[in-house]
């Protein structure tokens, strides 16, 4: 993971269109969000809790009979991390713990469909950790493994870490990064050149290097982002100094498709705002990893617009049709 660069994205001087879909960005000031996450608000430090959660998730996954790769348990945890637990709302954890394996699969499909409606580009970039949900029939072993991983994550307290509606609190730790490291052996990580910067080191680097004077809509770029931990620390530091991460641009790239997909999920989880680019490429071979990401982003919003333009006339037509559900044949 490299030090984040403050830039205009090399080769792309134009500004991305400013979109503000529902659920994107904090609803209150950055300072207020920090106040919501006072020290001691969690029973143990977020880092230790995340490690405990991921160890239990990895144990549940390895104890299942599923022969799939890391994208399945990472996808389950990513699906859960996209959810919110309002302080005065119903207990999301308790509700999900009552779901059967097939109910969970259906629920996760709805979660990703909703993300696609809100942020189609992020849903597209996250496909490596959700594509297994696109199978029409997962099979009993896969459904049971998904259920086991879900139970382990929820009972260990995942939504205590990721479920807060306060952006600062839900961004205190990179759970997906911890999980990916837990699932992969040291040798497997070294084989793909995966070396994660420890959270404490990321926080220190950001505090020492982040400029006091930053222009709104300036970009932060990490071409070897892993799962985005260094930019998470940057966003948290911005909030601590009274600035909103949504006012800036964020570019994240990694050669590992699963890590890159986690960046897309984390961009939403950490409320980085509407100006986000996520790429998956080898920067040693491709000098501009974000050119394709810009095209993918534009295509994703175009597909959503096309779908909405088709659905709206159908919805209007349906209102004009007679209700035949209660009509009798006589």
* Average pLDDT over every residue of 51-71: 94
Is the per-residue pLDDT at 23 higher than 70? no
Where does the pLDDT of residue 33 fall: very low under 50, low under 70, confident under 90, or very high at 90 and above? very low
| Composition of the chain by helix, strand, coil, percent to 5 | 55, 5, 40
pLDDT at 320: 65
Per the CB < 8 A criterion, the answer to whether 284 and 309 are in contact is no
> Lowest-confidence range among 20-24, 87-91, 170-174?
20-24
Per the CB < 8 A criterion, the answer to whether 60 and 151 are in contact is yes
Is the per-residue pLDDT at 126 higher than 50? yes
Share of the chain above pLDDT 90, in %: 61
pLDDT at 222: 92
pTM (two decimals): 0.80
DSSP letter at 198? P
Residue at token pair 């961009």: 267
Q: Which residues contact 90 (CB under 8 A, 6 or more apart)?
A: none
Per DSSP, helices labelled H in 28-100 are 30-35, 46-62, 71-81, 92-97
pLDDT digits (tens, 9 = 90+) for 161-213: 999 999 999 999 999 999 999 998 633 444 445 556 666 666 556 665 676 67
45 vs 247, which has greater pLDDT? 247
Per the CB < 8 A criterion, the answer to whether 145 and 34 are in contact is no
Separation between Cα atoms, residue 305 and residue 189, nearest integer Å: 39
pLDDT at 309: 82
pLDDT at 14: 37
pLDDT at 51: 94
């Amino acid at each position: 993971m490299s030090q984040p660069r403050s830039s205009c994205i090399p080769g792309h001087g134009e500004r991305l269109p400013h979109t503000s879909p529902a659920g994107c960005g904090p609803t209150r000031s950055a300072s207020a969000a920090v106040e919501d996450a006072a020290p001691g608000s969690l029973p143990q430090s977020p880092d230790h809790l995340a490690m405990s959660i991921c160890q239990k998730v990895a144990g549940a996954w390895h104890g299942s009979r599923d022969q799939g790769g890391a994208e399945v348990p990472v996808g389950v945890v990513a699906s859960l991390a996209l959810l919110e637990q309002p302080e005065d709302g119903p207990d999301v954890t308790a509700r999900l713990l009552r779901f059967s394996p097939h109910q969970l699969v259906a629920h996760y499909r709805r979660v990703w469909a909703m993300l696609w409606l809100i942020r189609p580009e992020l849903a597209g970039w996250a496909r490596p950790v959700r594509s297994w949900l696109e199978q029409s029939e997962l099979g009993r072993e896969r459904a049971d493994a998904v259920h086991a991983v879900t139970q382990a994550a929820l009972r260990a307290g995942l939504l205590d870490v990721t479920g807060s509606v306060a952006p600062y609190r839900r961004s205190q730790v990179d759970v997906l990064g911890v999980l990916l490291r837990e699932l992969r052996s040291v040798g497997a990580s070294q084989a793909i050149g995966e070396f994660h910067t420890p959270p404490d080191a990321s926080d220190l680097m950001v505090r020492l290097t982040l400029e006091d004077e930053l222009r709104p809509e300036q970009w932060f770029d990490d071409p070897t982002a892993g799962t985005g931990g260094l930019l998470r620390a940057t966003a948290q530091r911005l909030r601590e100094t009274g600035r909103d991460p949504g006012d800036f641009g964020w570019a994240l790239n990694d050669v590992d498709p699963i890590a890159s997909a986690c960046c897309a999920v984390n961009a939403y989880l950490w409320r980085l705002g509407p100006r986000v680019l996520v790429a998956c490429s080898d920067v040693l071979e491709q000098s501009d990893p974000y050119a394709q990401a810009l095209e993918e982003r534009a295509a994703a919003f175009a597909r959503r617009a096309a779908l909405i333009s088709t659905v709206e006339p159908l919805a209007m037509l349906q209102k004009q049709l007679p209700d035949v559900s209660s009509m009798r044949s006589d």
